[in-house]
Structure 1
Amino acid sequence: MDDYLVRGVAADGSFRIFAAQTTHTVEEARARHNCWPVAAAALGRTMTAGLLLGANLKGDDLLTIRVLGDGPLGAIIVSANARGEVRGYVQEPQVHLPGTPEGKLPVGAAVGKGHLHVTRDMGLKEPFTGSVELVSGEIAEDIAHYLTHSEQTPSAVSLGVLVDTDNSVVAAGGLLLQLLPNTSDEVLEKLEQNLAQLPHLSSLIKDGETPEEIIHRVTRRLEVKILETKPVCFCCQCSRERLEDLLVGIGKDEVASMLEEQGGAEISCHFCAEQYRFGQGDLQRVLERIEAEKKES
């Protein structure tokens, strides 16, 4: 089954809900960055969170999540847009830590203490960034904490990534439930009861449960309208042209040094690990561009 996201709202307008299956999306990121299990889980959860939060974006809006912890994974950076496209990387993808006593991947310990930053670029003069301290490093709790305290939207978040013994991602997905103003105590009580009975999300997805079925589990005994179903995928906007622009930006001396000492340059995109090779002729052309732009200015 292809990855996709479902967006719904309560018939009485008391809450909105999002659920996504992201197995193939997370597996592509895992393979591109050669992530070991704990890094795959941390990156996959953050990417899924990016897609869930990005479901409210419009047009060319862009959302970036930065998880900056002091654990061995280092930074986790994820970017998502309104089209259901997401990309991301983890600073140290090959980290191994012993599992928790419950047999789970120790994502919280691998992330460590630090801060979560969420930036929304909506084409205005300045992007908006909200920040909170990491609560647990487990990502779902941290995203819920951010939404509740930084955006004043009480939220429940569940994120799951199941990794096989060969490091591949077997199942991944997420759920986001947000309460809207004037939610009644009755509705709140039903939602809390349903959430308390919700099994691990990755187990549900592994067993073939769809995002629609997960939404119906969480909203049992409540009426929900499905507003949108859209595909999601790993997609990076990097290109040879953009990286050539980057070379132009670093300046004449740096490029001349690459040409003289290495006879070329190999640049890897942080987000997708795609490699771009610039030979002697390419770097010479970059130098000519730098000179031409200098004269124009």
Structure 2
Amino acid sequence: MVDDTSSQDIANNISKNEDRDVMHRFLFDDTDLRGEVATLGDSYSQVLVNNPFPESVQTLLGEFLAAASLLSGRLKFDGILTLQARGEGPLPLIMAECSNNKELRAVAQLAEGVDHSEYQGLSLPQLLGKGVLAIIVEPEQGQRYQGIVPLDADNLAGCLEHYFEQSEQLKTRFWLQADVASKTAAGMMLQAMPEQTCDTSKNQETWETAEAVAATLTADEQLGLDHQTLLFRLFHELQVRMFEAEPVRFHCRCSREASERALVSLGRQEVESLIAEQEQIIIDCQFCNQQYRFGNEDLDSMFGGSPKQLH
């Protein structure tokens, strides 16, 4: 196994805290195979604080966060990648976002009137029921892209593998883990890219070997090992190049300014009417539970002074 610089140099540059919130890209030399590996600690922990839900839902949130961080490697521009599932079950919505700067956030919505105890031990199909999985890419400049597949597998990893098989015709495997007790989530992705570097037979042989040894990965190893150790444990018989670490962190994009812009889009008359009815407008961020409050004292700053009187 080799590094873009050296594995030991990279390992020495990563602190214990960064080990818990970090991604690495890796390649299999002289083939058309690539991979991503991610471990989330503090970023996942913050999402758990903001989503005090049953353990089965929090575990799935961890898997969505890990998957979104792996998929963010597809962002070659400034923008956001969203991994979202909607269904008809007791968990109608769950989503995670990751920016090109590796800033994560996630949220889930539970069905109204369902006791939390009824969520315990439920799998993804049981939580979401019949539904769809979407990968949404939103560049800051350019056209929005969305790909959708049915939720037709037993877990998120299987649904993502079906997505890449159906939508992009790329062989892709995912391994996702989340442990609420240790507040750690982890993910690994292997992907066969279009043939450019070597012939089909070598690509296929390397893919079969990598996939087979990756299948031996245990949850404890994935959640507990640093990435250099993990990749060596799996692929020491292959030539793997691990690139420099990319730190990951929780970050919510909500702000008072963004909330103001949303209110301004409604128009002053509508906002005045809402304040008259409710005394103040309260905007809640579902991702971080931040509240933004607006009253009559905020109208002039939002709309640029008192409205003109027409006679």
TM tier, smaller: 0.7 to 0.9
Q: In 2 relative to 1, CA 287–184 (structure 1 residues): closer, same or farther, beyond 3 Å?
A: closer
**Residue type of the alignment partner of 1:146:** Y
TM-aligned CA deviation for residue 15 of structure 1: 0.8
Q: 153, 172, 191: which one pairs with 2:185?
A: 172
Q: TM-score normalised to the size of structure 2? A: 0.82
TM-aligned CA deviation for residue 37 of structure 1: 1.0
Identity of aligned residues (%): 29
- The answer on whether the counterparts of 1:190 and 1:221 sit within 8 Å (CA) in structure 2 is no
Residue pairs, 1:237-276, within 5 angstroms: 237-276=253-292
Displaced runs of 4+ in structure 1, greater than 6 A?
Answer: none
Aligned residue in 2 for 1:295: none
Structure 2 SS opposite 1:250: coil
Q: 240, 249, 252: which one pairs with 1:233?
A: 249
TM-aligned CA deviation for residue 147 of structure 1: 1.8
Larger Rg: 2
Aligned residue in 2 for 1:114: 131
- The answer on whether the counterparts of 1:62 and 1:79 sit within 8 Å (CA) in structure 2 is yes
In the alignment, structure 1 residue 7 sits paired with structure 2 residue 25: yes
**Residue type of the alignment partner of 1:185:** Q
TM-aligned CA deviation for residue 67 of structure 1: 0.7
Q: Over residues 219-270 of structure 1, what are the superposed CA-to-partner deviations in whole Å (9 max), with x where a residue is unaligned?
A: 2411111123111011111111010101111233431222212221211112
- The answer on whether the counterparts of 1:62 and 1:120 sit within 8 Å (CA) in structure 2 is yes
In the alignment, structure 1 residue 56 sits paired with structure 2 residue 69: no
In the alignment, structure 1 residue 36 sits paired with structure 2 residue 54: yes
Root-mean-square deviation over aligned CA pairs: 2.4
Q: 102, 106, 118: which one pairs with 1:88?
A: 106
TM-aligned CA deviation for residue 286 of structure 1: 3.2
Aligned residue in 1 for 2:215: 196
Structure 1 SS opposite 2:244: strand
In the alignment, structure 1 residue 45 sits paired with structure 2 residue 58: no
Q: In 2 relative to 1, CA 150–45 (structure 1 residues): closer, same or farther, beyond 3 Å?
A: same
Q: In 2 relative to 1, CA 137–23 (structure 1 residues): closer, same or farther, beyond 3 Å?
A: farther
- The answer on whether the counterparts of 2:300 and 2:306 sit within 8 Å (CA) in structure 1 is no
Aligned residue in 1 for 2:203: 184
Of stretches 260-269 and 55-64 in structure 1, the one that deviates more from structure 2 is 55-64
In the alignment, structure 1 residue 77 sits paired with structure 2 residue 95: yes
Q: Over residues 55-79 of structure 1, what are the superposed CA-to-partner deviations in whole Å (9 max), with x where a residue is unaligned?
A: 2313413211221122211111222
- The answer on whether the counterparts of 1:162 and 1:172 sit within 8 Å (CA) in structure 2 is yes
Structure 1 SS opposite 2:265: helix
For structure 2, the residue ranges without an aligned partner over 5 or more in a row are 1-16
How many residues are aligned here? Answer: 281
- The answer on whether the counterparts of 1:248 and 1:290 sit within 8 Å (CA) in structure 2 is no
